[in-house]
Chains A and B, each alone.
Chain A
Amino acid sequence: MIRLHHVTKSYPTGSTALSDVTLQIEKGEFAFLTGPSGSGKTTLLRLVLREELPTTGSIVVNGRNVATMPARDVPYLRRTMGVVFQDFKLILAKTVLENLILVQEAVGVPRAEHKTRAMRVLKQVSLQHKLNNYPIQLSGGEQQRVAIARALVNEPLILLADEPTGNLDPDLAEDIIALLREINAHGTTVLVATHDRDMIRRFGRKVFHLKAGALLEMGRAEYRAATAAGAAADDAES
C-alpha cells in the first residue's frame, strides 16, 4: 500500500531530512513512525502526501509512483488518504458539521450525502451531539476527534496522523490511539508519526524508527529492547 524505496530527501541548504529510507506498509496495517524531533517523521509523511518530492528514490502509494506522478493527479492521490495533525487544523469559523462538509465539497461528494456521512463519522468518534459546536467550544481531545472524523469522512484507504496525541494529556492520548486502532480494525491502513515512546511500547506492532533521517524497522519487542537501551540518547536529542 505504501512503499518507499531508497528515498533520500535533501535540501539546497545541505541538510538531509531522510537518508536512503526503504519501508513498506501493507494494506490494513497499523504502523508507527517514531524518532526524536527532527528525525524526519513529518518529512516522510509530506513525501507520501506529495507535499514534497524526494531527492532520490521512489514512493509508491496504491500502486502509483508518487514522485513521478503529474501534478494534475496529485489531488486524486490525496483523496485516498486522510490526514490528522497535532494542532488539529480545524477551521475555527466553521462548526463541526461545516468542517466536515467543507472537505466533502472539496472532493465533489454529492450534497445529499454530506450530512449523512458527517453524522456517520461523528458517531464513530462519539461526537454526534457536538455537530453544531464551533471548535473553540470543544476540548483538545474532542477537537482531535473532530479532526479524525474529518480525515475519515471521505472514506480514505490510508490514514496518516502526525503526532495526533502531541497536544493531549495521557488519558485523552490513549483514547485517540484506541480510536485509530478501531478505525484500522475496519480496514483502513494507519500510519501514526509520534515520539511518544510509551504509546508505542503499549500499542506498536510495526514500528519504523527514524534516527537522523535513517530508518530502523522493528517489532514491538525489538522496539522495547532498543528504546530501553537508547532512551537516554534519544531523550537528549529530542
Chain B
Amino acid sequence: MLQTLRYFTREALVGFYRARTMNIVTVGIIAASLAILGGFLLLVENVRTLADDWNRVQINAYFRDRAIAQTPADVRGLVESLRARPIVREARFVSREEALEIFKSRFAGLAAAAGSLSVNPFPASVEISVRGDRDERAESTRALLEELKASPLVEMVQDNEEEARRLLAALRVVSSIGWGVGAVLSAASIFIIFNVIRLTVHARRDEISIMKLVGATGGFIRGPFLLEGMLQGLLGAALAILLLYGAHLALADYAGRSGNTLARLLSGQFLPAARTAGLAAGGLLIGLTGAALSLRRFLAD
C-alpha cells in the first residue's frame, strides 16, 4: 500500500514536472476561478455579518428631549417594561451623550464639526432587538412599534425591518451571482484539467499499454493521473486562498489608513476556517473530476 502510494506520488510529480508550463497555467486558471468564487464568498460573509448586526438592533425609539429632562423616571420605567417583554431580547438605553460619542466614533471625519456644536443635537433613544425569526416576530413587532409610536415619551420610532429585508435580498443576489460565476469557472477548470490529463495520458500511452499488458490494475494505472489532477486543483486552491488573504489584508490596511466605511465593512473578517477548507476541497474536487473524466474518456480498460 505504502509502496503503491509512493509510486503514485512519484509518477504524479514526474508527470507534473514534465508538463510544467501547462500545469502552471492550469494551476493559475484554477486559482483565478476559486479566487473569484472565494471573493464573492468573502463579500457575502462580511455583508452577512453586517446584516446580522442590523438584525440585532431592530428598533430605535427616540425620546423627546422634554421627557428625558422632565420625566426621566417614566423613561426608565418604559425601558424596564420593554426589557420584561418576552419578545424583546435586549433593550439598551442610549443617552444623548452616548449618542454624540457614537456619532463621533462612527463618522470620524465629522467629529470635529460635532464637537464644535454648542448644543448636543442627538436625542436619547432605546435600541431594541427582538427575538425570533423575522417572519415569526412580524406581528408582535408591529404591535410594539404601534405602542411606542403612541407613547407620549417617544418622539420618533425607526425600524430597520425594510432595510434589512433589502440587504438580505441583495445578499442573496450577490451570493447567487458568486455561486453562478464560481460554477462556470469551475466547469472551465475541469475542462482544462480534462485536456491536460488527456495530453499526459497521450504522452505516456506506451507506458500505459505496457502496464496493462503486464497486469497492472486499472486503479494502479489511473492513480498517478488522478493524483496529478488533485495536485493541480489543490495548488490552485492554495494559491487562491493566498491571493484572497493578501487582498483581505490589503483592504483592511487601506480601511485602517483611509477610514473608508465600505472598505472597513468588507474587510471585517476573513473567510471562516470551514469556508477556507471548503475552497481547498473544491480545488481538490475540480482536479479529481477533470482527471477522472479524462481517464474515463481516454483510458479505456
**B3–A83 CB distance below 8 A:** no
Give chain A interface residues in 87-131, CB to chain B under 8 Å: 89, 91, 102-103, 105-108, 110-111
**B217–A75 CB distance below 8 A:** yes
Report the separation of the CA atoms of residues A154 and B215 in the bound assembly, to the nearest whole angstrom.
Answer: 10
Question: How many A residues touch the partner, as a band?
Answer: 20 to 34
B residues less than 8 Å from A111 (CB atoms)? 3
Report the separation of the CA atoms of residues A110 and B3 in the bound assembly, to the nearest whole angstrom.
Answer: 8
- Is A71 among interface residues, defined by CB-CB distance under 8 A? yes
Report the separation of the CA atoms of residues A78 and B214 in the bound assembly, to the nearest whole angstrom.
Answer: 6
Given known A-B contacts A108-B3, A111-B3, A103 and B210 have beta carbons under 8 A apart? yes
- Is A76 among interface residues, defined by CB-CB distance under 8 A? yes
Total cross-chain contacts (CB, 8 A): 51
B residues less than 8 Å from A74 (CB atoms)? 301
B residues less than 8 Å from A91 (CB atoms)? 206-207, 210
Across the interface, B211 reaches (CB within 8 A) one of A49, A71, A102, namely A102
Closest residue of chain A to B210 (Cβ to Cβ) is: A89
Report the separation of the CA atoms of residues A51 and B214 in the bound assembly, to the nearest whole angstrom.
Answer: 12
Closest residue of chain A to B6 (Cβ to Cβ) is: A111
Across the interface, A102 reaches (CB within 8 A) one of B3, B207, B218, namely B207
Nearest chain B CB to A116 CB, angstrom units: 16
Nearest chain A CB to B295 CB, angstrom units: 15
Question: How many B residues touch the partner, as a band?
Answer: 10 to 19
- Is A77 among interface residues, defined by CB-CB distance under 8 A? yes
**A154–B214 CB distance below 8 A:** yes
**B211–A103 CB distance below 8 A:** yes
Give chain A interface residues in 61-75, CB to chain B under 8 Å: 71-72, 74-75
A residues less than 8 Å from B207 (CB atoms)? 91, 102
**B210–A78 CB distance below 8 A:** no
A residues less than 8 Å from B216 (CB atoms)? 75, 106-107
**B209–A75 CB distance below 8 A:** no
- Is A79 among interface residues, defined by CB-CB distance under 8 A? yes
- Is B220 among interface residues, defined by CB-CB distance under 8 A? yes
Report the separation of the CA atoms of residues A137 and B216 in the bound assembly, to the nearest whole angstrom.
Answer: 28
Map CB proximity to A onto B195-215 as digits: 1 under 8 Å, 0 otherwise: 000000000001101111111
Give chain A interface residues in 35-78, CB to chain B under 8 Å: 49, 51, 71-72, 74-78
- Is B107 among interface residues, defined by CB-CB distance under 8 A? no
Give chain B interface residues in 175-225, CB to chain A under 8 Å: 206-207, 209-218, 220
B residues less than 8 Å from A76 (CB atoms)? 215
Map CB proximity to B onto A143-170 as digits: 1 under 8 Å, 0 otherwise: 0000000100010000000000000000
29 contacts between A and B (CB under 8 A): A49-B213, A51-B213, A71-B301, A74-B301, A75-B212, A75-B218, A76-B215, A77-B215, A78-B212, A78-B213, A79-B215, A82-B214, A89-B206, A89-B209, A89-B210, A102-B207, A102-B211, A103-B211, A103-B214, A106-B211, A106-B214, A106-B215, A106-B220, A107-B214, A110-B3, A111-B3, A150-B210, A150-B214, A154-B214
Would you list the 7 A-B pairs with minimal beta carbon distance, nearest first? A79-B215, A106-B216, A78-B215, A75-B215, A103-B214, A75-B217, A106-B211
Write the residues of chain A forming the contact surface with B, with a CB cutoff of 8 angstroms: 49, 51, 71-72, 74-79, 82-83, 89, 91, 102-103, 105-108, 110-111, 150, 154
Given contacts A83-B213, A107-B214, could you give 6 more A-B pairs where the C-beta distance is less than 8 Å?
A74-B301, A83-B214, A89-B206, A91-B210, A105-B3, A150-B214
